[in-house]
Structure 1
Amino acid sequence: MARKPVIRPRKLATQQRSRATVDSLVEATARILVREGFDKASTNRIADVAGVSIGSLYQYFPGKEALVAAVIERHQEEIMQVVRSELAQAAALPVDEAMRKFVAVALEAHRLDPPLHRVLAEQIPRVGKLEKLDVFSRENFTLFKAYLEKVRGELGVDDLELASFVCVTTIEALTHNAVLHQSKMLTDDQMEALTDEGARLVTRYLKG
């Protein structure tokens, strides 16, 4: 049986100097993942790029899987900062406008450092199940369901939990594939059209 990778840090950095060391290691890991790939991201290579001793690396992280997990966590938090601030504006919008906002925000979030987003999407299965990703998914689901509950009277669906799952999954798949796999084909005008079409898709589903 394959060894399950350890993805939790050994200890948390609390002082400014130690936080700077951890930040350097996480940033170096992200750069290596984008430029060289997961297999080249050895702990020695990460420590070298970060300008940190290998001993200091192991003081905070048990291995490269934990460092990749830290990169994923940081990237997901950056995405959620965009999502939270933007979707707060959707609460007072009618369904068709709110769905456009949801799709537009998802596109914007995926366009935060697409090369890193792409490599992390590929490496997540190799790192293992990450609790932070579950939290990220649940928060998106919760935000969407809270909106549907406010506009329940305008909807043609009864099961809001199921409807939230269908819509969030659809929007995520649509925007993820558009930005990461079709970005060279999509102009700004096409992005606008994609936003309109994605919004129309989920709006028609919700209104029945």
Structure 2
Amino acid sequence: MRKIPQQQRSKELVARLVQATAQAIREHGMDKFTTHHVAEQAGVSVGSLYQYFDSRKDLVEALLEDVTLNLQQGLNALVLEKTTDLRQMVDRSVRFGMAFLRADDGLAIELVRNWYKLPTHNVVRLLQDTLLDFMRMYLLKNPLANNPERLHIRSFVIANSIVFTMIRAISEPNPFITDEELTLELIEMVISYLNA
């Protein structure tokens, strides 16, 4: 039987603890999950958990790093798609965002509901930077007539408008707007703003 090196076992255990954190948040909510829940879900002792993470906060930060990495991979795939049609680019981006938030058995929604308590600056920065990349690609073939030098400001406004509108709508217990209606309105908002 092949021996697995200690470093690899450690990485595997950390990954298992991060996934167990996600499951504990799904089952108990952000405010009520405990390190005991995570340890139990991962099949380890609480003492083993504390060898790798000092607190719940550290577990959540590690989970957010994983979420950010998954988001980055999806956004990178979007950026690599060969299209310079603004409506198509915005449509794909907004639909990707909605699908990302609705995926993973409610984990993203629970994280979104608690965004103000979490270190989400890396996620928001990633969204802004990706949107800026999209806009630069678009401008290579379709220059904006109105203030292209303010592109970084526009990308900031658009990214935050989309993200916080989605957060607000998705975290609503009884939404007054469907995901599709929201998606279409966000697409129109972005295109109108860029063409203003």
- The aligned counterpart of 1:73 is 65
TM-score between the two structures when normalised by the length of structure 1: 0.75
Equivalent position amino acid for 1:98 in 2: M
RMSD of aligned C-alpha atoms? Answer: 2.8
- The aligned counterpart of 2:3 is none
Equivalent of residue 28 in structure 1, options 20, 35, 44: 20
TM-score between the two structures when normalised by the length of structure 2: 0.79
- The aligned counterpart of 2:52 is 60
* More divergent stretch after superposition (174-183 vs 20-29): 174-183
- The aligned counterpart of 1:173 is 164
Cα distance change of structure 1 residues 55 and 177 upon mapping to structure 2, 3 Å threshold = same
Deviation at 1:52, TM superposition (A): 0.9
- 1: CA distance between counterparts of 2:177 and 2:8? 42
Equivalent of residue 190 in structure 2, options 183, 192, 202: 202
Cα distance change of structure 1 residues 92 and 155 upon mapping to structure 2, 3 Å threshold = farther
Structure 2 regions of 5+ residues with no counterpart? 1-5
- 2: CA distance between counterparts of 1:131 and 1:165? 13
Q: Deviations over 1:68-89 (max 9, x none)?
A: 1111111222222222112322
Cα distance change of structure 1 residues 45 and 62 upon mapping to structure 2, 3 Å threshold = same
Deviation beyond 4 Å, 4+ runs, structure 1: 182-187
- The answer as to 2:114 corresponding to 1:104 is no
Deviation at 1:30, TM superposition (A): 1.3
Answer yes or no: is the 8 Å Cα contact 2:131–2:155 preserved in 1.
yes
Alignment length, in residue pairs? 190
Aligned residue for 2:64, secondary structure, equals helix
Matched-pair identity in %: 26
- 1: CA distance between counterparts of 2:27 and 2:167? 21
Deviation at 1:63, TM superposition (A): 1.0
Deviation at 1:65, TM superposition (A): 0.7
Cα distance change of structure 1 residues 84 and 156 upon mapping to structure 2, 3 Å threshold = same
